[in-house]
Amino acid sequence: MPYGGWLSEAQGGGLAWIGRHAYDGPDNTLPGMRGSINLTAVRGTTAHDFLTRMGADPGLLARAVPFREIGERWADDDYKDWECMFAQVGEWTVILESSQCATWYLNWIEEVGEAIPREGEELVCVTLNKHQAPPRLLYSPRNGEVWNREFGQDFIDAYRPDDPTGRVAAFDAALRDIGVAGDDHLAPRVYAVVGEHLGIDVPHRDVEEGLLPSAALPDPT
């Protein structure tokens, strides 16, 4: 099946389950992912376009190797730095990585131009930043700008008060109710609000069983 056709049936439950396992270590007994999942989601472009802009090999994307089979079906020279799984769910391309942080976040830090959202592209990134706390939430409201906050903080503050799209303020309002408790308690609520406010869901069973297609992303650092 071409990777663009990997659409799972609606399973409900939103994204809170990812947050509940955010501080678990990766579970090597699973063929997919459960703990320590970072999420990057974008709409306004295709999965192929965005992943190749992040450095994924178009040929490997076209092979649509399920995540659970990457060790069996990819040659050694296919491997790059970080393996991820992805899904096209409605308008959103969702990229999941069970690792220290989201690779897209590193691309943003390193100012990798092709990975920066373009006009008309909406992007959200939940990165746990286990390599360098604290965890962060990033959002681009379709105007090419990126807003960055720690869990429990507002995007809009005295240092960055202007929000010409109105989308950032709306996201802030949805997030404000999660409070400023410890990170272990915030992660499920951050993930839940991201899913509910932006209309993003991922198929829980398919993620844990590694049924979604995989890609390899180079480390930009």
Dump pLDDT digits (tens) for 5-57: 333 333 446 899 999 999 898 777 899 999 999 999 999 999 999 999 999 98
Q: Which helix (H) or strand (E) holds 47?
A: helix 47-53
Largest CA distance in the chain: 52
Kind and range of the H or E element at 123? Answer: strand 119-127
pTM for the model stands at 0.90
Q: Is residue 176 part of a domain?
A: yes
Asked if residue 28 is part of any domain, the answer here is yes
| Domain span including residue 136 | 12-45+90-202
pLDDT at 197 over 90: yes
Q: For the CA atoms of 179, 94, 220, 116, what is the dihedral angle to 10 degrees?
A: -80
* Average pLDDT over every residue of 214-218: 92
Which pLDDT band holds residue 182 (cuts at 50, 70, 90)? low
User: Which residue in 121, 161, 159 sits closest to 143, CA to CA?
Assistant: 121
* Number of domains comprising the chain: 1
85 within domain boundaries: no
Per mean pLDDT, which range of 50-59, 104-113, 149-158, 211-220 is the poorest? Answer: 149-158
Mean of pLDDT values over 132-140? 94
Q: Encoding tokens for residue 33?
A: 């992912």
| pLDDT tens column, 55-78 | 998 988 988 899 998 866 665 665
Q: Mean of the pLDDT values across residues 157-175?
A: 88
Is 50 within a domain?
Answer: no
* Domain-located, residue 36: yes
